[in-house]
Amino acid sequence: MIEISSAQQLALLFPKSNKAISKILESASPEQLKNLSEAKDLKAILSQLMNDTLDTSKSNKIILDILKNSEFFKELGSFSKEMKVLVELLEAENNPNKKIDKLLQVLKLSLLDFKQGDSAALKDFVKNSGVFLESKFLQDNSPKAELHKALQDLKSLLTNSNEKATSPIIKNIQGLLNNETAFSKNTDLSSLNLIKKELGSLVSSLNGLIKSSTEPLYAKEVQILVTKLQTLSQGAQKNESFSLSTIKNLMHEISSELRISPKDTSKALVTKLEGIESKIENIIKDNSSKPLLKSLASALQGLDIKNLSANELKAFKAGQSEIQTLSQMRFEEIQSLKFDDVKAFFAGFSESFSSLGSSNTKSIFDIIEKILSSLKQTEQAFTQAKVPKDIKNWIANFDKELSKSDVIFSKDFQAKLDKILQLSMPSHLLDNKLLQENLQRDIKALLLGIEKELSVNPSLQTNDILKSLDKLLVQIDYFQLLSHLSNASYLYLPYTWDGLQNGKFSFKNKDDGSCYCEIDLELKEHGKLNMMLQLFDDNQLNMNIYTQSIPLKEIFKTHIKELREALVKVQIMPRNIHLYEFDERKKNSYAKTEALNELGFEVKG
């Protein structure tokens, strides 16, 4: 078991819990910063960052620039490969150590197989990457105090319930709150097992109370769908995003859920929603640009292009390929594209063959004009048909009916119930036990555990083992500092494969619900590959791909259609996917906000 020491708790990295670190990050002098940039090794850089004698005020941004631009940090290498090296070195030792072997077996589980990796495995890796180790200490409140508060909050909510069946449940909760043994510091495990039974009975009663209602209007799933609908409709009105098919599909899903309700009010909501769906269906039928795109693709094939220059021909062929892809896309994929981007694409594409003369190209320009008109009319028709207003009114009626529901169907009630369920395990009520469980698979905690065992067993220490262990811990410290200074999350790539030399990624959530992710890879055959992604309005995606390799860029072009289809298949709508050469990265990033520039984003308007 990984032990929690007071020294480790005092060594927290984050400023909220370590004032010395906060002062360091705010007060590095120019001389010390100069020394940092000239440090001869990784450890020297981190040592100076951690030095508590810094006293001249300096901004975090300067230190962040050093972290990002220092050649030493750029040459950290692959964390996953280095971890494999450490595992092999320790397994090759002639003097096995049971404690180290146990830690090693858990450490090996964190090495992910790229071919078999899934979202659940990646989410688990992020949690246990070691970068968030110290934050786990910060979140470690007394579990008994948490349980006491959760029970009190639950009792307050139930007091406001109109359900008759809540009275005996409130009495049970009060009985638990009056049980001094349950919240005593010296409660033994046998007493906690009895408390577990009472909590289990309480949770069972509350779940039964919720399930006794068959009204889908109060279902959490329906409320989530309605929130999505509201977000998408508002985005369309602001011209931030516009996906008519996604809105229509959401409405259909909500209608399907509410249709089974026996309540007249729910039936009325379904009828109104179906009326809005019908409006959208008519807009789609009247404004489909798919036939026009097919006509354009056909017309381009018959165009005589032998008089184009080499550069014009290259641009023409690239544009023709894009149009061929567009003509094969479904309506919802085409309609998810941003109008201004499509307009800009056609403007650039038209330049590639404008030298051929109007007599040869007039029909093509006419089709392009009709396509743009069709796409624009779809957005205009959405507003002119007063669909946004209809959706807004419908949601207001939905919320009005929802407000009449009992408190036991609220999100707050469910959150308290989930908390009690988590704390119902006897071991979780013992101080530090829940934290101990959280640490058992944390990579930094495991590495520190191995380091501790090596310190008391000199016979196991070899230069290679110590060097490898130190290199891994330095990398985690680096990503922790980078994450804090950027107000984002930076992590090493958990995968390895033969063609990968190094990799890392970062992500940041914004207050408006959008999320930004940057993936940096260094490939043996193709050099540097950078991908910037922006996810907004729940399922709308922008993606910029930058590569040093022309052959790799061509591979992406060949498979761009499959990429779009794969994204749509999992309900992610690719608004923009752009391919660039690596030296174009600074010119074409995502958005101009200071916070996002720290991640390298410049989001298009």
Output the DSSP codes for 527-552: EEEEEEEEEETTTEEEEEEEES-HHH
Under 8 Å between Cβ of 543 and 578: yes
**Average pLDDT value for the chain:** 70
Higher local confidence (pLDDT), 170 or 486: 170
CA dihedral sign, ordered 301, 303, 307, 311? negative
pLDDT of residue 587: 47
Out of 73-77, 229-233, 438-442, give the one with best mean pLDDT: 229-233
Distance CA 172, CA 190 (A): 20
Mean pLDDT of 12-31: 40
The arrangement of strands across the sheet holding 489-492 comes to 489-492, 500-509, 515-523, 527-536, 540-547, 573-581
The values of phi and psi at residue 55, to 5°, are -140, -10
Q: Which of 341-345, 539-543, 561-565 has the lowest mean pLDDT?
A: 341-345
Bridge partner residues of 204 (DSSP): none
**Positions of E strands within 10-131:** none
Mean pLDDT of 574-602: 56
pTM: 0.49
Instruction: Tell which residue, 521, 535, 547, 515, has the closest CA to residue 576.
Output: 535
pLDDT of residue 52: 37
Distance CA 450, CA 445 (A): 9
367-372: long-range contacts (C-beta < 8 A, 24 or more apart)?
Answer: 367/292, 367/295, 367/296, 367/299, 368/296, 370/292, 371/289, 371/292, 371/293, 371/296, 371/342, 371/346, 372/339, 372/342, 372/343, 372/346
72 pLDDT tier (thresholds 50, 70, 90): low
DSSP state of 41: S
Mean pLDDT of 498-517: 82
If one counts every other C-beta atom within 10 angstroms of the C-beta of residue 380, the result is: 13
pLDDT of residue 311: 81
pLDDT above 50: residue 373 = yes
Under 8 Å between Cβ of 90 and 454: no
pLDDT of residue 546: 92
Distance CA 138, CA 11 (A): 12
Instruction: Tell which residue, 140, 59, 125, has the closest CA to residue 495.
Output: 125
Residues in the chain: 605
**Helix, strand, or coil here: 113?**
coil
**Helix, strand, or coil here: 479?**
helix
- Surface-to-core class of residue 569, CB atoms within 10 Å of its CB (0-12 exposed, 13-18 middle, 19+ buried): exposed
358 pLDDT tier (thresholds 50, 70, 90): low
Exposure letters 464-500 (e unless 16+ CB within 10 A, then b): ebeebbebbbbbbbbbbbbbbbbebbbbbbbbbeeeb
Higher local confidence (pLDDT), 255 or 197: 255
Q: Which of 100-109, 185-194, 322-331, 474-483 has the lowest mean pLDDT?
A: 185-194
Mean pLDDT of 332-339: 64
Higher local confidence (pLDDT), 103 or 53: 103
Cα 473 off chain centre by: 25
pLDDT above 80: residue 326 = no
Instruction: Tell which residue, 306, 299, 308, has the closest CA to residue 368.
Output: 299
**Helix, strand, or coil here: 512?**
coil
Q: Give CA separation, 552 vs 323, 523, 545, in Å.
A: 21, 10, 11
Under 8 Å between Cβ of 539 and 571: yes
Q: Which two tokens stand for residue 434?
A: 């829940």
pLDDT of residue 489: 80
Residue matched to tokens 């944390």: 442
Dihedral, CA of residue 319, residue 325, residue 328 and residue 333, to nearest 10: -110
The values of phi and psi at residue 561, to 5°, are -65, -45
